[in-house]
Structure 1
Amino acid sequence: MNPNYGKVWLVGAGPGDADLISVKAVKLLKQADIVLYDYLVNKELLDYCPDSCEMVYVGKKKDKHTFPQEELNELIAHYASKGQNIVRLKGGDPFVFGRGVEEIMTLIEYGIDYEVVPGITSGVAVPAYMGIPVTARHVASSVTFVTGHPAKGNNSVDWQALAKASDTLVVYMGVSNAQRIANELIIGGKKQETPVALIRWGTYPQQEMLTATLKTIGDVMEDNGFQPPALMVIGEVVNFSEQLKPVIQSVKPQELIHV
C-alpha cells in the first residue's frame, strides 16, 4: 500500500435506527478526519464525529445523485491522498447492494489501504422491526435478497425463476417496479394471494407498512400514494406481522451501552 495515503474504512451504518450501528463503527467515527455519508444514513450518527471532522454528503436518491458513482470513487481516493483517516459511511451493509466493491476497486487501483466494517442490512432488520421474520420453521426455510432496480443494461433478475426458488423474497429498491415484479412472479408460479409487505423508512420512528397480495399490490400502492424509499417482502412470513409486532415493540433495552 502507498504510505503517502491515508486509510479508508467502508463502514455499514445499519438500516436507520442509530442504536443499530456497531461499536467498532462508532469508535472509527470518533477518530475520523473526514466522513463521506449516504442519504439513508441516520444523521444522529454524525454526532459521534469530532469537531475537527469534515463531513461530506455524497447521497443518492432516485435520479438525483450528488456524485455519479465513478466521480464518488475518485473523490474518496482524493481525500485519502491527504494522508487522513476517512470513514465512508454507507447505509446498511457496504456489500449488500451498497456498491462497496466498486469503491474498493478504485482504492486498490491507487494502492490505498482500506478495511470493511459490516453493518446490519435493512433486508433483515426492517422486516424484524415490523414483526416479520424472513425465515420461520414450516413456513420459510429459504430467503433471497434481490434488487428491484438492476444497473442500467442489466436485466439479470429472473423473477419467474425466483417465484419457485425461494420461500421469502426481500426486494431492495423495488417499489417503482412492484407491479411488474408481482406480475412476473405470478407468471412464474407464485400464488396471486401470496402476502406482500411494503415497508417505508424501516427502523425509524416514522416507519410505515402497507400489506397486500401479489394480485393487489399495484392498487394498494396507488390508493395510498406509497413512495420510496421502501423495502418489499414477499412470502408467507408477512402474515406473522400481526402476531409478532406488538411483542417486538414491547421489548425495550433497559440500558444502552455507551462507547
Structure 2
Amino acid sequence: MEPETGVQGEQDGRAQGSGDYRLETERAREMIRACYEEGILPTDIDRGEMEVLGREVKFILNLSLDEIKIKWLKERTVNVIFRDGARFLPKTVKEDVVRAYEDVWIKDETFGHDFKRGRTKVESPNVISYIPRAQAISDSMLQKKTDFIDLAGTTYRTEFNPWLTRAKIRDWRQLIDQDTFWVVAVGVPLDEMPFLHAHVERAIGKVVKQHKPEADESDPKLMNLRFDVDPACRANMKDKILVQTC
C-alpha cells in the first residue's frame, strides 16, 4: 500500500505544479499584453542574468519567459511588407497605409469608434510590424496574405506575414539587399547640389534612379539626396565625396 500512496502523492504534486505553471503563464501573457497594447512596462518581471563587460551590460533573458513573449508576438503581430516600388514610399505614407487597414475595422460595428489603435514599429525600409488591438484583425490580415493599394495613380503591392524575429528580418534584408544598392548624400550643401548626380556616377557607378529631393513637393527642403546605383558597383562605394570650389 505504501508504494501506491507514494505514486498518488507524486501525481498530485505534478498536477499542482502544472496548475501553477498555467497561472504563471497567464500572468506573464497579461504583462506582455499590457506592455505592447497599453504601454505599461512591467516593473516586477524576471530580469534574467546580467553580465557586465566594462561599460556595457548584457542580459540573458529567462528562457521560459522569453518563449512566452515570442509566442504572444507571433500570435498577434503582423509584418506588413511593402514590395517593389512600395519600399521607396516615405515612412509616414507606409504608416498611413497600415492605419488605413485599421480604419476598416474601427468603423465596423464589431469594435466601434472608441476602439483604440494598435502599435506600429518600422523595422526596415520595407517592413512595418503592426500589433492590432484584437486577434481578429491579425487573423484576417494573415489570411488575406497580400493586397494592392493605389496611391496617386500608382498601384503598390503589400504582403502580410507572421511576426519575424530581429535575426530573421536581418537575414531577409541581406537577401533583398543583394539586388539593391543605393547612396544617400547627407546634408547636401547648396553649392554642391548641381554637380552631385554627376559626381556620384563618376566616383561610384551608374545611377539607375535619382529620387526626388523632397517627399512633399509643397514643402521643398534640401537635406538628403538618394541615388539608386547599379549593384555591380557596390565595391566602388565611398564614405565621402569632397568638392573643391573657387
Q: Same fold (TM over 0.5)?
A: no
The TM-score normalised by the length of structure 1 is 0.26
Greater fraction of residues in helix: 2
Structure whose alpha-carbon radius of gyration is higher: 2
Ranked by relative contact order (alpha carbons within 8 Å, sequence separation 6 or more), the top structure is: 1
The TM-score normalised by the length of structure 2 is 0.27
